[in-house]
Amino acid sequence: MVKRIGGLRRKTRYKFRKEKRSRGKISFTNYLQSFSAGDRVYLNVEPAVQKGMYHPRFMGRTGVIKGKRGKCYEVAMNDIGKGKTLIVHPVHLRRA
């Protein structure tokens, strides 16, 4: 079998790049924000934090919070008619 080279951040140089104005330290309010079950959220990746990052194919999508798992949240969404659950750190989520 062929050995796969690279991980989830492969070929994402421009996709995971920050805007010039948003570079610098990460705000604690975004890092420690809390959500409750049923909240609608946007998946917006924070490139400086690799923990709890989702696959790049879900970038910019919208989902619903199902529950909490450790420090992360379970986000439910439909992917081409199939239900999927992502485990995402709150720093990568924005309120819809």
Q: Where are the domains of the chain?
A: 37-95
- Using 50, 70 and 90 to split pLDDT, how confident is the model at 91? very high
Which residue did the predictor score with more confidence, 12 or 43? 43
Nearest to 53 by CA among 22, 83, 9, 10: 9
- Using 50, 70 and 90 to split pLDDT, how confident is the model at 37? very high
Which residue did the predictor score with more confidence, 85 or 27? 85
CATH 2.30.30.70 fits 37-95, yes or no: yes
Q: Residue 24 gets which letter from DSSP?
A: S
Pairing relationship of beta strands 72-79 and 62-69 according to DSSP bridges: antiparallel
Evaluate if residue 94 carries a pLDDT over 90.
yes
